[in-house]
């Protein structure tokens, strides 16, 4: 009847449909994006707070979809993870970042560490460590100029497994930082056990530090804890001089954010690297 016919439609929320069709379109687009060369890497400098020098950078992927335009990695990386496309895309990112850093060093730019974001699935991939060693060998980049950014989510797996894997990465000479620190896994006990080098304080905590909210206490505590564990600490999302002044006062080691530079393409990074005056 007409009644039931109407009811059928209640199952189709048109908004849901739009979300799904965009997701489907992104997924299909992602399958072709590598061979169509639609990806690019941008780079954002990391600053040593006391000297204001660029001591490293983070590679951030950018994707221009032929019809949809720029799609943010916050939207497409989860889809790449879900579909397993992150393996091939992640390998492209790693090779590209290592190649670029090696090229800059060969061209005589001051050597800095290149940080690459690693998704959980990549970290857990069976041959990840040997694949990484191969990319370093192929590109000729000395491992000490590479850093991997991993989130606290790695800590959900069996502890021995995680420690072994981190150890294997460290043995290559690659550094490890914990990204978005403070937002994820609640047990801090892993910090002492995991062979990591740096904590990156999530920008959600950095945002309000200058306004004496709870975040002031949290950021102070993270810095103190990191230092007592002999870890370096970097604050993400630094946008104002007030935030920087606070971080400096509390002996935070490094900072990254729009105050210094937005993520820029390779030629923009070359300009930053050749500056005589610190940022």
Near Ca ion by CB under 5 A: residue from 179, 215, 253, 254: 179
On the 0-12 / 13-18 / 19+ scale of CB atoms within 10 A, 175 is buried
On the 0-12 / 13-18 / 19+ scale of CB atoms within 10 A, 225 is middle
Please, which of residues 94-113 interact with ligand C2E by CB under 6 A? Answer: none
Considering only the stretches 31-39, 41-49, 118-126, 229-237, report the one whose residues sit in contact with Ca ion under the rule CB under 5 A: 229-237
Assign 3-class secondary structure to 126-188.
CCHHHHHHHHHHHHCCCHHHEEEEEEHHHHHCCHHHHHHHHHHHHHHCCEEEEEEECCCCCCC
Q: Are the C-beta atoms of 201 and 234 separated by less than 8 Å?
A: yes
CA distance 203 to 180: 7
Q: Are the C-beta atoms of 44 and 60 separated by less than 8 Å?
A: yes
Taking the complex as a whole, how short is the minimal distance between the CB of residue 60 and ligand C2E, in angstroms?
4
Near Ca ion by CB under 5 A: residue from 44, 101, 117, 175: 117
Choose from ligand C2E, Ca ion, none: what does 215 bind? Cβ within 5-8 Å by kind: none
Q: Are the C-beta atoms of 66 and 38 separated by less than 8 Å?
A: yes
Considering only the stretches 54-62, 136-144, 223-231, 264-272, report the one whose residues sit in contact with ligand C2E under the rule CB under 6 A: 54-62
Judged by CB, which is closer to Ca ion: 203, or 227? 203
What angle is formed at CA 111 by the lines to CA 94 and CA 247, rounded to 5 degrees? 90
Nearest residue relative to ligand C2E (C-beta): 257
For 83, residues 6+ apart whose C-beta sits below 8 A from its C-beta are 27, 30
Structure tokens at 96: 């590209």
Considering only the stretches 9-17, 136-144, 235-243, 246-254, report the one whose residues sit in contact with ligand C2E under the rule CB under 6 A: 235-243
179 contacts ligand C2E (rule: CB under 6 A): yes
Number of residues in contact with ligand C2E, rule: CB under 6 A? 20
Taking the complex as a whole, how short is the minimal distance between the CB of residue 115 and Ca ion, in angstroms?
7
182 contacts ligand C2E (rule: CB under 6 A): no
CA distance 162 to 190: 10
Considering only the stretches 10-18, 53-61, 63-71, 219-227, report the one whose residues sit in contact with ligand C2E under the rule CB under 6 A: 53-61
Near Ca ion by CB under 5 A: residue from 180, 215, 253, 254: 180
Q: Find, among 99, 86, 103, 96, the residue nearest to 37 by Cα.
A: 96
Near ligand C2E by CB under 6 A: residue from 26, 30, 49, 61: 61
Near ligand C2E by CB under 6 A: residue from 20, 72, 167, 212: 72
56 contacts ligand C2E (rule: CB under 6 A): no
Q: Which helix (DSSP H) or strand (DSSP E) does residue 115 occupy?
A: strand 113-117
Please, which of residues 199-218 interact with ligand C2E by CB under 6 A? Answer: 203
Q: Which residues bind ligand C2E (CB under 6 A)?
A: 44, 59-61, 72-74, 77, 93, 117, 119, 179-180, 203, 237-239, 257-258, 263
């Amino acid at each position: 009847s007409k009644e039931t016919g109407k009811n059928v439609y209640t199952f189709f929320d048109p908004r849901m449909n739009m979300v799904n069709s965009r997701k489907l379109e992104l997924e299909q687009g992602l399958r072709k994006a590598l061979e169509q060369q639609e990806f690019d890497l941008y780079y954002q400098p990391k600053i040593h707070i006391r000297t204001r020098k660029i001591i490293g950078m983070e590679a951030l992927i950018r994707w221009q979809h032929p019809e949809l335009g720029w799609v943010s990695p916050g939207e497409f990386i989860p889809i790449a993870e879900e579909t397993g496309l992150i393996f091939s895309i992640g390998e492209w990112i790693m090779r590209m970042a290592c190649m670029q850093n090696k090229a800059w060093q060969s061209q005589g730019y001051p050597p800095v560490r290149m940080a690459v974001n690693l998704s959980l699935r990549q970290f857990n991939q069976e041959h990840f460590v040997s694949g990484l060693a191969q990319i370093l060998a192929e590109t000729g980049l000395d491992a000490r100029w590479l850093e991997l950014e991993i989130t606290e989510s790695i800590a959900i797996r069996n502890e021995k497994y995680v420690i072994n894997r981190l150890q294997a990465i460290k043995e290559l000479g690659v550094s490890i930082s914990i990204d978005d620190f403070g937002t994820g896994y609640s047990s801090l006990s892993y910090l002492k056990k995991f062979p990591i080098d740096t904590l990156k304080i999530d920008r959600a905590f950095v945002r309000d530090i200058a306004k004496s909210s709870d975040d002031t206490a949290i950021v102070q505590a993270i810095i103190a804890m990191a230092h007592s564990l002999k870890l370096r600490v970097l604050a993400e999302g630094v946008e104002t001089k007030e935030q920087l002044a606070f971080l400096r006062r509390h002996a935070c080691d490094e900072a990254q954010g729009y105050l210094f530079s937005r993520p820029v393409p390779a030629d923009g990074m070359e300009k930053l690297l050749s500056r005589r005056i610190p940022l």
